[in-house]
Chains A and B, each alone.
Chain A
Amino acid sequence: MAAPGRLKVIGSRLLQAIPVVIGVIIVTFILTRALPGDPAVYFAGTIADEESIQEVREALGLDKSMPEQFFYYVGDLLRGDLGTSLMTGLPVAEELGRRLPASLELTLVALIISCAVAIPLGILAATRPNSLADHACRVLVTAGVSLPTFFTGLVLIYVFYYVLGWAPPPLGRLDFIFLEPPRVTGFFLIDSVLAGDWETFWGAAKQLVLPAVTLALFTLAPIARMTRAAMLQSLSSDYIRTARAAGLNGRTILYGYAFHNAMLPVVTTLGMVFSFTLGANVLVEKVFAWPGIGSFAVDALVASDYAAVQGFVFVMAILFVALNLAIDILYTLIDPRIGFDAA
């Protein structure tokens, strides 16, 4: 009986995403135009004169009026063309297509590690407030969030690569002795499994561990804190008392009743953490020479590479919209009450 309501909610959320995407296109266009610095001057080189700058400008289409430029931009977008990066000379779409999976893989693995630690920790802390577990949780979480990622990253490299020698050199996604697995998803871990190449899988996994742990430490705090708070709240609610009075055992109460209800705020937090991690892992990417989109975007910004910056912002925005959509849908799956509010 809840299904049509839910489908309706999902449908309406999808529709709501359309104006957001249009807004994103307009804003990215204007924003990149508003950036200081003239790309024509930059790319003509230091010894260029007025004339050659003008030539570059015409070649880039920057001499046209703003509406005209916008018109071409949208037309290209519709064809899936994000323009050509001035830095690398490659199409931006191709560049992002290669780098986005790298960033996503890193972020996802980091979040999985983070959840695997933070959620049990939060539950433990909530079931025994002010116990040793609770204090330990607080210390770990505070340390994780207060140390900057580049610092934790460097410490991890120092200890595990330089001192202990357990980790491979922090140079990208795969050691040069391995070949990149045939590209299917762009996620090395998945692609190597699909190709049945376990050596490459382990190679990629080893490269991934340190940067992922670095990011995970940073994202531990919000997830653990929210789990603890949400669990405390649902554990003190009336239905838990009813469940206890009915003689249900501790495990059913804790996981079937309390945690199920506590999942809503945790999922919300997870979505937020995911989006800011994806945007903010530039430092980690730089430290580990990770060929992700964060470092690409920073380089493009410094070089006033319009097409690349535009493409990056656009792709990120679409990703955020998709992420929010996914979280909304996850919500409707967890909570039967959603879907009726909208009707």
Chain B
Amino acid sequence: MSLVSIKNLAVAFQTRKGEVNAVRGVSLELERGETLAVVGESGSGKSVTSYALMRILDRGGRIKAGDVTYSGIDLRKATERAMRDIRGREISMIFQNPRSALNPIRKVGDQIANVLVQHRIATRQTAKAKAIEAMEAVRIRDAEQRYSAYPFELSGGMCQRIVIAMALACEPRLLVADEPTTGLDVTTQKTVMDLVADLIKERGLSAILITHDLGLASAYADRVVVMQNGVIVEEGASEMMLVRPHHPYTQKLVAATPRKGAGVRDLLPEEARTPLPDKRPVGAPILQVRRLRKTFGAGANAVEAVKGVSFSIGEGESVGLVGESGCGKSTTSSMVVRLLDPTSGEILFRGDDLATIPASRFTRDKRRGGIQMVFQDATDSLNPRHTSARSIEDPLIRLSTLSRAERAAKVAETAALVGLPEHLLSRFPHQLSGGQKARVGIARAIVLEPQLLILDEPTAALDVSIQALVLNLLVDLQAKLGMSYLFVSHDLGVVRLLTDRVIVMRGGEIVEEGATADVMDRPSHEYTKSLIEAVPQPRMIPAEPLSANAAAG
């Protein structure tokens, strides 16, 4: 008998617009000791399925139909009290964004202790000692001191270890991991996933890994289930899933996942692959940064975020700026885009030193239009009360002398350029999809025809298939408009696809710099190597799984 058996599960949410069917007839089996990955993009119902299994659906959600059994127990019929004993004791869960998954104002150790006491694994007297044991089990050093830390005092990776410690404290038999690496740095992602994999093996756990990342799924799971719009579209052994995806949706997902050897066009579905535009030759330097330095705070509390970095970007060149959080890449890009004043150093943009102009004054400077930015979160960076047209028009209103009619024409032209259909121009951000919002963000940035575009993780919040479209759009735009890109990212796969040259930062310094292909294939610095190795390597990833098909077809 399998450990978990889900049959024809249907989950619906009561919303203002009526009932929304998030999961529509999903059937799953999980054997003892097996790790199953559930893969899908946002809205596929993968998380909801696991919440239904634990019966912790958000308010308004309910299981409409189907059977859910765990080890022979009918979970749909179990009382709330019985469910409470199963949660944490039999089935545990770890979450994405570990920092917000922990109670912000309670000591992390106490949060673990609460769980231990609840399941009568420990008494109030022994809870602290047991909690420290649980923390040590997930390889937290100085567990005793960490016990009384609050989540905000710990790094994201450490918070995730706490969440894992909490989940495993009562020695459950099934671990559900809901996007456990989202919101963490690449190297942290790897350590966390390796830790989870080790613990699963050590304790002989069964596990369900919920992720949007096919690479991660095939690297860590025995079997993969692909979900789309609340149904399972494909199921199979993880090695086979990447090599021979059968369902068109899986094929699209596999194709859209950035991988070694695949170009930016390879990410698109076959029928959408147009020939890659010719790359313009890189011209004279448009941006030269010299000994740029930024210190936050003063005196004993001063933190040197950027320690005198120098680099340049040529006309029409794409430069990647990579590193983990806290490496100073965002501070550097904020200074270049003149949202932040450097402590010292020069920012030469077409020969003029912009560093001398205070950030507060630069907003009205004529050269403001020359450097524009595309922000990480397309949703948060759009004014929720502005239509798409108004958002795109905004820079024109502030920085150009165009008349109203000319502005409208320019907005329409730019929208066409980024592939935003005209009827979407009158919509508000909440009426747009993630990909459409990303297009609005890009259109707003290029409407002033900047020479330098700074892209701050522009695809981090997007699903892979949307990411593929946006990356291709950026390549096409660069070929058409001849802009230079400074591409800030922690995602090496994406950086490889888009940039000519890459700069690796760590602790406020540049540790390596060079042509992207060279740095990626033959990294010279240890840190770069660790970054590249941290990208999940699927057990068997073909160099170009689909180009063979393309040649055949």
Interface, chain A (partner B; CB < 8 A): 1-2, 129, 236-239, 241-249, 252, 256-257, 260-261, 334-337, 340, 343
A244 partner residues in chain B, CB cutoff 8 A: 56, 87
B148 partner residues in chain A, CB cutoff 8 A: 1
B85 partner residues in chain A, CB cutoff 8 A: 247
A2 partner residues in chain B, CB cutoff 8 A: 150
Q: Quick one: which of B71-89 are within 8 Å of A by CB?
A: 83-89
B54 partner residues in chain A, CB cutoff 8 A: 245
Assess the B100–A336 pair: CB atoms within 8 A: no
Contact of A335 among B95, B101, B105, B166 (CB under 8 A): B105
Cβ of B125 under 8 Å from chain A: no
Which one of A238, A246, A334, A336 has the highest number of Cβ atoms from chain B below 10 Å of its Cβ? A246
A257 partner residues in chain B, CB cutoff 8 A: 103, 106
Which one of A236, A242, A256 has the highest number of Cβ atoms from chain B below 10 Å of its Cβ? A242
The answer for the CA separation of A247 and B91 in the assembled complex, in Å, is: 9
Surface stretch bound by A, among B114-122, B199-207, B217-225, B511-519:
B114-122
| Apart from the given pairs A244-B87, A261-B105, 8 other A-B contacts in the complex at a CB distance below 8 Å | A238-B100, A242-B103, A242-B166, A245-B87, A246-B118, A247-B83, A247-B115, A261-B103
| Contacts A249-B84, A343-B301; A238 near B95 (Cβ below 8 A) | yes
The answer for the CA separation of A309 and B339 in the assembled complex, in Å, is: 49
B115 partner residues in chain A, CB cutoff 8 A: 246-248
A241 partner residues in chain B, CB cutoff 8 A: 56, 58, 95, 101
The answer for the CA separation of A244 and B103 in the assembled complex, in Å, is: 12
Q: How far is the CB of A253 from chain B (nearest CB, A)?
A: 10
Assess the A239–B102 pair: CB atoms within 8 A: yes
Which one of B54, B58, B115 has the highest number of Cβ atoms from chain A below 10 Å of its Cβ? B115
Cβ of B59 under 8 Å from chain A: yes
| Contacts A1-B148, A238-B101, A239-B101; A247 near B106 (Cβ below 8 A) | no
The answer for the CA separation of A242 and B165 in the assembled complex, in Å, is: 12
Q: List 24 A-B pairs, Cβ < 8 Å.
A: A238-B95, A238-B100, A241-B56, A242-B101, A242-B102, A242-B166, A243-B103, A243-B114, A244-B56, A244-B87, A245-B54, A245-B87, A245-B93, A245-B167, A246-B118, A247-B84, A247-B85, A247-B88, A260-B105, A260-B106, A261-B105, A335-B105, A337-B104, A340-B152
Cβ of B459 under 8 Å from chain A: no
Size category of the B interface is 35 or more
B118 partner residues in chain A, CB cutoff 8 A: 246-249, 252
B170 partner residues in chain A, CB cutoff 8 A: 247
| Contacts A244-B56, A247-B115, A247-B119; A238 near B88 (Cβ below 8 A) | no
Contact of A236 among B59, B93, B167 (CB under 8 A): B59
The answer for the CA separation of A243 and B117 in the assembled complex, in Å, is: 13
Assess the B86–A247 pair: CB atoms within 8 A: yes
Closest B residue to A341 by beta carbon equals: B152
The answer for the CA separation of A242 and B152 in the assembled complex, in Å, is: 17
Assess the A336–B105 pair: CB atoms within 8 A: yes
Assess the A256–B114 pair: CB atoms within 8 A: yes
A246 partner residues in chain B, CB cutoff 8 A: 87-88, 92-93, 114-115, 118, 166-167
Q: Quick one: which of B104-135 are within 8 Å of A by CB?
A: 104-106, 114-115, 118-119
Q: How far is the CB of B464 from chain A (nearest CB, A)?
A: 23
B93 partner residues in chain A, CB cutoff 8 A: 242, 245-246
B58 partner residues in chain A, CB cutoff 8 A: 236, 241
Assess the A252–B114 pair: CB atoms within 8 A: yes
Interface, chain B (partner A; CB < 8 A): 54, 56, 58-59, 83-89, 92-93, 95, 97, 100-106, 114-115, 118-119, 148-150, 152-153, 163, 166-167, 170, 301
Closest A residue to B60 by beta carbon equals: A129
* 7 closest cross-chain pairs (CB), A and B: A247-B88, A247-B87, A246-B88, A245-B93, A238-B100, A239-B103, A246-B115
B119 partner residues in chain A, CB cutoff 8 A: 247
The answer for the CA separation of A343 and B297 in the assembled complex, in Å, is: 9
B114 partner residues in chain A, CB cutoff 8 A: 243, 246, 248, 252, 256
Closest B residue to A343 by beta carbon equals: B301
The answer for the CA separation of A243 and B167 in the assembled complex, in Å, is: 10
Assess the A245–B105 pair: CB atoms within 8 A: no
A236 partner residues in chain B, CB cutoff 8 A: 58-59
A1 partner residues in chain B, CB cutoff 8 A: 148-149
The answer for the CA separation of A239 and B74 in the assembled complex, in Å, is: 27
Q: How far is the CB of B194 from chain A (nearest CB, A)?
A: 22
Q: How far is the CB of A2 from chain B (nearest CB, A)?
A: 8
Assess the B152–A337 pair: CB atoms within 8 A: yes
The answer for the CA separation of A260 and B105 in the assembled complex, in Å, is: 8
B167 partner residues in chain A, CB cutoff 8 A: 245-246
Assess the A239–B152 pair: CB atoms within 8 A: no
Q: How far is the CB of B52 from chain A (nearest CB, A)?
A: 12
B95 partner residues in chain A, CB cutoff 8 A: 238, 241-242, 245
Which one of A247, A249, A336 has the highest number of Cβ atoms from chain B below 10 Å of its Cβ? A247
The answer for the CA separation of A243 and B93 in the assembled complex, in Å, is: 10
Closest B residue to A240 by beta carbon equals: B103
B86 partner residues in chain A, CB cutoff 8 A: 247
Q: How far is the CB of B416 from chain A (nearest CB, A)?
A: 40
The answer for the CA separation of A256 and B83 in the assembled complex, in Å, is: 20
Q: How far is the CB of A9 from chain B (nearest CB, A)?
A: 15
The answer for the CA separation of A271 and B269 in the assembled complex, in Å, is: 59
Closest A residue to B91 by beta carbon equals: A245
A237 partner residues in chain B, CB cutoff 8 A: 100
The answer for the CA separation of A262 and B148 in the assembled complex, in Å, is: 22
The answer for the CA separation of A244 and B54 in the assembled complex, in Å, is: 9
Closest B residue to A2 by beta carbon equals: B150
Closest A residue to B151 by beta carbon equals: A239
Assess the A242–B163 pair: CB atoms within 8 A: yes
B301 partner residues in chain A, CB cutoff 8 A: 343
Q: How far is the CB of A64 from chain B (nearest CB, A)?
A: 46
A129 partner residues in chain B, CB cutoff 8 A: 59
The answer for the CA separation of A246 and B115 in the assembled complex, in Å, is: 6
A242 partner residues in chain B, CB cutoff 8 A: 93, 95, 101-103, 163, 166
A261 partner residues in chain B, CB cutoff 8 A: 103-105
A337 partner residues in chain B, CB cutoff 8 A: 104-105, 150, 152
B149 partner residues in chain A, CB cutoff 8 A: 1
Closest B residue to A336 by beta carbon equals: B150
Which one of A129, A248, A249, A257 has the highest number of Cβ atoms from chain B below 10 Å of its Cβ? A248
The answer for the CA separation of A216 and B92 in the assembled complex, in Å, is: 45
The answer for the CA separation of A328 and B167 in the assembled complex, in Å, is: 35
| Contacts A334-B105, A335-B105, A340-B152; A245 near B88 (Cβ below 8 A) | yes
B150 partner residues in chain A, CB cutoff 8 A: 2, 336-337
The answer for the CA separation of A337 and B118 in the assembled complex, in Å, is: 27
The answer for the CA separation of A334 and B103 in the assembled complex, in Å, is: 13
Closest A residue to B96 by beta carbon equals: A238
The answer for the CA separation of A129 and B119 in the assembled complex, in Å, is: 30
Q: How far is the CB of A201 from chain B (nearest CB, A)?
A: 38
Closest A residue to B80 by beta carbon equals: A250
Closest A residue to B112 by beta carbon equals: A246
A238 partner residues in chain B, CB cutoff 8 A: 95, 97, 100-101
